[in-house]
Amino acid sequence: MLDTRSPEVFASGHLRGSLNVGLDGRFAEYAGDVLHAEDTVVLVAERGRETEAKVRLARIGYDHVEGFVPDAELDLVVRPDLAETAIRLPAADVASWRAEDPSLQFVDVRTPSEQETGIVAGAHLVPLPELVERAGELDPRATTVLYCAGGYRSSVAASVLRARGFTRVAEIIGGCDGWRATGLPLVESVLGAPRG
């Protein structure tokens, strides 16, 4: 199940186990990071945008789109047992949460060159294209906070981890940019530091 709605809409309610790659971002690229070309896909899309999603997937060789869910919100009302929400928090709230629980598992899903501009102290460095293969390096029982540059890729990454059984997953609204804008500290990403 590939939900192509925006991260904000996805967070408010989605079908459990869905992956979120918003159609308005770098959709094909990031869908390619978290799906395999042979995967069978059912799309969740805003009415009228399902063909766009299917075509953009086909352009990168993802030809197994078997259908779409046009009214996900209605389906969630009818079947609340299939519904799930996502946790998206402002950076200041995440910092307070970390002060109360220093065992939070932070995961930076930006590219290595972005990570060189500074990371949240102690973050696991797992760029989004590597997340599917490296998810086993993370503790699925730990409360996990993901961030990217602005908040789009972290929604993709959080949905991947939830689909893999991580039960306590949150994202930083605005990503690293939001963290930095709040005046929270970043530390240097040390070349050769553990990447997982």
pLDDT at 190: 64
Q: Please report, in tens digits, the pLDDT of each residue of the chain (196 residues total).
A: 999 999 999 999 999 999 999 999 899 999 999 999 999 999 999 889 999 999 999 999 999 999 999 788 888 889 999 999 999 999 999 999 999 998 999 999 999 999 999 999 999 999 999 999 999 999 999 999 999 999 999 999 999 999 999 999 999 999 999 999 999 999 998 654 444 4
37 CB-near residues (< 8 Å, 6+ apart): 60, 61, 62, 63, 64
Going along the chain from its start, the domains and CATH numbers come out as 2-83 (3.40.250.10), 86-181 (3.40.250.10)
CA–CA separation, 150 vs 164, rounded Å? 23
Q: Work out whether strand 87-89 and strand 41-44 pair parallel, antiparallel, or are unpaired.
A: unpaired
pLDDT at 195: 45
Radius of gyration of the chain (CA): 17
Say if CB 97 and CB 72 are below 8 A apart.
no
pLDDT at 196: 46
CA–CA separation, 31 vs 18, rounded Å? 12
Residue 191 CB neighbour total at 10 angstroms? 7
Helix/strand/coil (H/E/C) assignment for every residue in 47-108: CCCHHHHHHHHHCCCCCCEEEEECCHHHHHHHCHHHEECCEEECHHHHHHHHHHCCCCEEEE
In whole angstroms, what separates CA 190 from the centre of its chain? 24
pLDDT at 108: 98
Q: Which residues pair with 106 in a beta bridge?
A: 145
